[in-house]
Structure 1
């Protein structure tokens, strides 16, 4: 009897069972050959940071790691990414869903689109997608590919702190919960260049040798709520300085006695929000601001290391205010739609000055060829649907629209793909996309001596491309994957210099001094092979090969090889971490037998 007047206590005994039950082991399975974005059916792959951080030769730099992917031409001296014969500046960098400036240290100095290494560390980077063409409709303003990167959430259960010293820098990272037992977390990483630190400590000549000084900071704060969705505050920034000091004695100096300095900054911060409106619909939005500055100066000296003459002074500042939002709706088990919009307010401040025939100038004063300070607007909207007909066939269809207010140019880009799951281990996919990209803002404000103050490139249209990719995937086993991807890309409306062989496709300098017209063309076709073993029992490998041809047509109507037409590429990664007893358990030590 249970009554309100007295507490009732029951003691219940249980008899032990003689039957013992086996344990159930649940193991997660990640489809590593498929991208994170479910709308991508071909031409894309996931970059697993957990594995990539172990790959030899990557320098903890995701840009250098993808340089070993099939169809991607890397460079030992920089982390520029040339995809299937395209210029590195045709790649778009994205972070947390918004386009960001080149996140590399010393960007554009050694060539457009690249740098020394990115500001992303494996301490903070999450699994990301890399697209090598024919990407879904939600991606715009890119011709060759998209590197869609994400920052991982910090550990919300316990605090972790990491300090490490390497050839690239001194690094400190920290993560943990804001309050134990709560779901909110923080993640923080700071890096300072090792050479600069050595110069600071040693001083003297060592301080001059350590001319490259850089540092970067990245963070993410994840704030889940009960009813208002998940909020995230994130950011990344770089601070780079460079001086190439002249020697004190120039008597045996075999080169032009110039001394260059550079100050470069990049910063991106954003507020993200994701909320489920019902069990089949969620809304994801991001408000972000990006900033980049590149100020380079070059002085020419005489043989006595005196009488410096400024022969180059270039300042480029860009600030973007970005709003990106999309609605993802699952109408049924077969049909999912994603529709979104991106609005970008572009602020620019450019002032480019260079002496005639620099650095072989004969004392002529510098001339200004770009001076602009103002703002413009870039808007894009897209919709894409995925429809699964049955267990074997899935199709995607999408449309992307862009409007560039600076010269009132429009684009309407169609995207489509289909996937055929022949069997559990064999998949065919075909993807097509039309893509476009506007040029660097300073290109639109070029003036020449012949035209005076008239902006000769103000009405440049988007450069455009058609891209088709066919892929065949064979999952040889759970850890071994083989892929073949033939592709074809046709570029048109490419800016070129009239009457010459100069094309944006081959551009290496970060500035432009010539008049451009949209008369150029290009074509890239080839086939990529990838044979990969994912990390298991401590070892992994990846073998890639590409055979391709890359041509462009300049302003003179002549077809030529592009700068990136290497005709074939091969890469091989092989590595082993620790030792294994064959059961999947890892034993770490100094000696493996």
Structure 2
């Protein structure tokens, strides 16, 4: 219409995907509500709609063999193309023509066969939650059943669990702590390293999660990087709470569908300090920087190759100063120097053997380093060594996952992952009786092998069953486990559903814990080396109901039993035994 033509407009495009096989779907009608704008997907599922008015729009996707899907509240911005990857679910026989209303939070969780306690999010969501500071971990603290430790860090407590029970995953690869100023084995820090400007459709799981996710007892962040625009080049520059950011994305050439995405960020306090400004922290100025990238290389006959990575470094020095009253963290009698580094790089290959079967092979490397130095200051302000820490962990990862859609009723996903873990720890402290002595010195390697299988069966249009098995083996002390997962979802006639899920979940201890040395007589021995896995059982029952105007109410009751948690043998000793246990339950709702 004439009114629409006068408004700023943008292109909405994307790829329509079969939810079960992950293959592109052709002949899907894609339309913008309230306009005559629309298009049809090609044989690869690709669609393009030009001239879409800037603002919030709703998109309807329809196909004769798939359930109808409405995407609501889709943001269309004038300076950037909107790229969507909607997933359609194949109909079971002749189904009713009920519209599936999706606000982006139902697609990825369905693909991963999660029955309960799963929320999907993207970059826009991380900006909309109060107090998130563009950090997805802080965003998650707004979810039901999730709490933060304090405002100074983004560690999250899921249903009363330790923050150490959280799994971070990037592009299908388990990664170390993705936070600046973080410590080895931890899952949080003051500033997140995952830049929300490069985040794609991702998910957060808080209980009874499917078998794809293991070696965790509390929850999982399954983060993906979005694809770069393969149609035109776009650039980003901004200054915010987390720092100065610059980014670029686009196609490598007009003749190729290959694309790149890269984003770099430098800390705002460090930038202000370098320009001679005062950030109000005295001499202790936090400096950090991070980089994230993704390169997509489609090759029609041999599949899709994706090179991805992220990394960052952080550093802060607390120097003892009797006159420095502006630094709240100042200890006038000690100098403290802390630095941390983390990185991950991977190559992923996705190949469709036929229209219903695909494999994903991933090779990756991850690493992290934490260095801490503390010196005591004498009366003359001369430093003396008091504590030294230099911890390094890195791993090489190889994984293979196969996805098979047998029919509209049955789907199987199975995979195996091999991790070669390397570690190097040196911790030393000054002792008043024995002088400057090391209490942890270890450099070696071990292996972690994991496997899973997840089956989904749709009995009919209302009842869906998800079952799975997960297993892992740690060669360090020959610990192994096999876990079962099961969940059911029953759709109610009046736009609602009942859900019920049970899962057994196991987690190895943080790697450094196994090598802590305890003084026994005149010798130091590794008393934790034979620690077993911490085990947790999750039971979650839920009810959800769709309200008017795309509102949804969800109620979940959960119970959790933890056993074999490591407990210190003495209050001031790092030596531990697998004798800890605990129980928790609760009722949570969300709107």
Change (3 A) 1:127 1:448: same
Deviations 1:82-104 (A, max 9, x none): 10111111101000001000100
- Contact preservation (8 Å) 2:319, 2:332: no
Task: Report what 1:552 is aligned to.
Answer: none
Of 565, 568, 583, the match for 1:497? 568
- Secondary structure of residue in 2 paired with 1:36: helix
After superposition, the Cα gap between the structure-2 partners of 1:255 and 1:348, relative to the gap in structure 1 and judged at 3 Å, is closer
Partners of 1:283 and 1:441 in 2: how far apart? Answer: 31
Say if 1:398 and 1:415, in contact at 8 Å, map to a contact too: yes
Q: Is 1:225 matched with 2:299?
A: yes
Q: C-alpha displacement at 1:355, in angstroms?
A: 3.4
Deviation digits for residues 464-523 of structure 1 (CA, Å, limit 9, x no counterpart): 1001111111111352111111101100011001265x8xxxxxxxxxx52111011011
1:81 to 156, 172, 176: 156
Question: How do 1:409-424 and structure 2 match up within 5 A?
Answer: 409-423=479-493
Partner Cα distance (2:154, 2:265) in 1: 18
1:393 to 463, 472, 475: 463
User: Does residue 479 in structure 1 map to residue 550 in structure 2?
Assistant: yes
Q: Select the residue among 528, 533, 541 that pairs with 2:588.
A: 528
- 1:64 lines up with 2:138 in the alignment: yes
User: Which of 365, 383, 387 is matched with 2:435 structurally?
Assistant: 365
Comparing both structures, which one devotes a greater share of its residues to strand?
2
What corresponds to 1:300 in structure 2? Answer: 376
How many Å separate the matches in 1 of 2:414 and 2:186? 32
| Compared CA separation, residues 478 and 222, structure 1 to 2 (3 A) | farther
User: Map of 1:311-322 to 2, 5 A cutoff?
Assistant: 311-322=386-397
1:430 match: 500
- TM-score, length of structure 2 as denominator length: 0.79
Structure 2 counterparts to residues 33-112 of structure 1, below 5 A:
33-34=105-106, 36-37=108-109, 38=111, 39-74=113-148, 75-108=150-183, 112=186
SS in 1 for 2:517: coil
- Report SS of the residue matched to 1:449: strand
C-alpha displacement of 1:395: 0.3
Cα separation, 1, equivalents of 2:331 and 2:340 = 26
Q: CA deviation at 1:348?
A: 0.3
Task: State the match for 2:477 in structure 1.
Answer: 407
- Distance, in Å, in 1 between the alignment partners of 2:125 and 2:473 is 39
Equivalent residue, structure 1, for 2:51: none
Q: Which has the higher contact order (CA 8 A, sep 6+)?
A: 1
Q: 1:205–1:287: structure 2 CA closer, same or farther, 3 Å change rule?
A: closer
Q: Matches of residues 180-191 of structure 1 in structure 2 within 5 Å?
A: 180-191=254-265
Counterparts of 1:487 and 1:179, CA distance in 2: 52
Q: Deviations over 1:326-382 (max 9, x none)?
A: 1111111111011100110000001112235xxxxx696333221110100000111
**Do residues 446 (structure 1) and 521 (structure 2) align?**
no
Taking the aligned partners of 2:325 and 2:367, their CA distance within structure 1 comes to: 43
* Cα distance change of structure 1 residues 52 and 479 upon mapping to structure 2, 3 Å threshold: farther
* Aligned equivalents of 2:174, 2:325: Cα separation in 1: 49
Q: Is the 8 A contact 1:311 1:365 kept in 2?
A: no
Superimposed CA distance per residue, residues 185-219 of structure 1 (whole angstroms, 9 cap, x where no aligned partner): 00000000011111112179989635210000000
SS of equivalent to 1:454: strand
Q: Please, which of 166, 179, 192 is the counterpart of residue 266 of structure 2?
A: 192
Matched, 1:240 2:314: yes
- Give the secondary-structure state (helix, strand or coil) at the position aligned to 1:209: coil
1:412-452 Cα shifts (integer Å, max 9, x gaps): 10000000001252011111110111111111111112162
Check 1:397–1:310 CA distance in 2 against 1; reply closer, same or farther (3 A cut).
same
Aligned partners of 2:127 and 2:254: how far apart in 1?
29
2-structure distance, mates of 1:377, 1:145: 23
Matched position secondary structure for 2:273: helix
Q: Can you list the C-alpha shifts for 1:233-276, whole angstroms capped at 9, x where unaligned?
A: 00000111110122254899995622210121100000011111
CA distance in 2, matches of 1:102, 1:291: 10
Map of 1:307-386 to 2, 5 A cutoff? 307-356=382-431, 365-386=435-456
Match 1:169 to one of 243, 250, 270: 243
Offset, 1:33: 3.8
Is the 2:178–2:187 contact (alpha carbons within 8 Å) kept by the matching residues of 1?
no
Q: Is the 8 A contact 2:356 2:404 kept in 1?
A: yes
- In structure 2, the residue matched to 1:563 is none
Supply the RMSD in Å over aligned alpha carbons.
Answer: 2.3
Contact kept, 8 Å, 1:208 with 1:245, in 2: the verdict is no
Indicate if the aligned counterparts of 2:165 and 2:218 stay in contact, CA closer than 8 A.
yes
Answer with 72-81 or 199-208: which moved more: 199-208
User: For the Cα contact (< 8 Å) 1:386–1:396, is it kept in 2?
Assistant: yes
CA distance in 1: counterparts of 2:134 and 2:433, whole angstroms: 45
**1:567 aligned residue:** none
Q: State the TM-score, normalized to the length of structure 1.
A: 0.79
- Go from structure 1 to structure 2 and tell me whether the alpha carbon gap of 1:395 and 1:242 turns closer, same or farther (over 3 Å shift): same
Give the direction of change, closer, same or farther, for the CA distance of 1:35–1:497 in structure 2 (3 Å limit).
farther
In structure 2, the residue matched to 1:149 is 223
Unaligned runs of 5+ in 1: 1-21, 357-361, 503-512, 532-593
Partner of 1:554: none
For 2:131 and 2:324, locate their aligned partners in 1 and report how far apart those are by CA, in whole Å.
37
- The Cα shift of 1:167 comes to 2.8
Instruction: Report the alpha carbon displacement of residue 117 of structure 1 after superposing the two structures with TM.
Output: 1.9
CA distance in 1 between counterparts of 2:513 and 2:368 reads 16
CA deviation after TM superposition for structure 1 residue 53, in Å: 2.3
Structure 1 equivalent of residue 86 of structure 2: none
